[in-house]
A and B are shown apart, each in its own frame.
Chain A
Amino acid sequence: MSENVIQERDEIHARDRAWVQCILAGDPSVFAELMAAYQQAVYNLAYRMLGERTEAEDAAQEAFLRAYRYLDRYDQDRPFKTWLLSITSNYCIDRLRRRRLTWLSIDEPLPPHPALASDAPLPEASAIDGERDAAIQELLSELSPDYRAVVVLRYWYDCSYTEIAEVTGTTESAVKSRLFRARRALAERIKARPAGHLVPAPVPVMEG
């Protein structure tokens, strides 16, 4: 890890710690700063885990409320982001397990397809990106909650194995094993598809 990256991490840690101390001293308005810094990370994790925007918003909201409620339990020597992602991940895993136990009544209408579940716009405006996003969610939904968390933390957050182990409360060895099995399971799903399906075309990066 380069010196710049380490310095940047230290600065973020010091900033977060200062904010946490302000909140614990009785100023809840500072929590908005923490939210602004991490709302996308928390929401994206919830969305990738749950696959549905309305549910992801509920989960992200619950994760922030829990973080606020139990802020005194946060170990200020560790990165705030890891702690927050850990709360989000655990909440989403519990929610997915509960969802598996929910039985649908035949009188009850079926839940809408994830892509149709919300009126909110997709993360990318273009239809191609929307299609790719739906394909990614479809693939992720094939994985068990524990495996899904490892894949999301690795690909979207660029977390190291040690960080993933901290967030998911497991060992580094288990993380490696879960990541390999998840990659293999996803590869086997892709292999079973018609040629070219689900494989992204290179997207040119457009900067304003």
Chain B
Amino acid sequence: MLFDKHQEDIINRMLDGEATPEEAAMLGTILAAPADRALWEAMQDVDRLLRTAPTASPPPGFTARVMAQIYAGAPVQAKAASTPNGMTLAGRLALVALAGVGVLLLVRLAVGQLIGPLPSLEELSMTVSYIVNGFIDVIEWLFDYVGRYPALPAIGLASIPLAFAVTWLVVYYTPKEPFRRAAHLLIP
């Protein structure tokens, strides 16, 4: 009941009517087991059913309804002229940059109000060295902890595929449309 990729391709081509005589001859070998032959017959039934399926037609007045919406809306945008909301891409980027500068200025003002003038280079380097030393302390503590609990690295490693699976599920089941719309606002 398990077919390899090559066998799957042959079965697909047989159903599509595109198999060579050599491939058709190979089918007997591929479908040697009775269960495989039964599956093949059911696949042919599905194929016949789908090939005779009718094509559905839209209800009367469909085109008129869509065209009415088109006439009621904005005209189609000329190439590279503007984004769906009417502002050019350059305009949008400039707006984002301007907003960024504004936020930075506000942060600078707020920090200035709270802690006075900015620190000197010497003070900055001392702060950086405190942070680095703190980081090294944490690493040392982790090594010490792992030494006491040997199963910890294995649990850590096992959690990686779990994290991937959870992330994949979240991404798969998240509706993509709002993100696409948001992206279209910035990149036409």
Decide if B77 touches A72 in the complex (CB within 8 Å): yes
Decide if B175 touches A98 in the complex (CB within 8 Å): yes
A71 to chain B, nearest CB (A): 5
Q: Which of A11-19, A36-44, A77-85, A103-111 contacts B (4 or more CB under 8 A)?
A: A36-44
Decide if A188 touches B62 in the complex (CB within 8 Å): no
* Residues of chain B lying within 8 A (CB to CB) of residue A57: 58-59, 62
The answer, yes or no, to whether A165 is at the interface (CB within 8 Å) is: no
Decide if A200 touches B12 in the complex (CB within 8 Å): no
Known: A123-B56, A180-B11, A180-B12. A190 touches B78 (CB 8 A): no
Decide if A44 touches B56 in the complex (CB within 8 Å): yes
* Residues of chain A lying within 8 A (CB to CB) of residue B48: 199-200
The answer, yes or no, to whether B38 is at the interface (CB within 8 Å) is: yes
Total of A-B residue pairs, C-beta within 8 Å = 147
Known: A43-B57, A187-B43. A132 touches B76 (CB 8 A): no
Decide if A179 touches B12 in the complex (CB within 8 Å): yes
* Residues of chain B lying within 8 A (CB to CB) of residue A101: 173, 175
Decide if B78 touches A40 in the complex (CB within 8 Å): no
Decide if A190 touches B76 in the complex (CB within 8 Å): no
Decide if B46 touches A200 in the complex (CB within 8 Å): no
Decide if A190 touches B42 in the complex (CB within 8 Å): yes
Q: How far is the CA of A135 from the CA of B52 in the complex (A)?
A: 12
B47 to chain A, nearest CB (A): 7
Which parts of B22-78 form the interface with A (CB within 8 Å)?
Answer: 38-39, 42-43, 45-59, 62-63, 65-67, 69-71, 73, 75-78
25 A/B residue pairs, CB under 8 Å, sorted by A: A39-B63, A43-B62, A47-B56, A57-B62, A60-B62, A64-B66, A65-B66, A69-B76, A70-B84, A72-B77, A94-B176, A94-B177, A98-B177, A132-B49, A132-B53, A135-B49, A155-B53, A156-B55, A177-B8, A180-B8, A187-B43, A187-B45, A187-B46, A199-B45, A200-B49
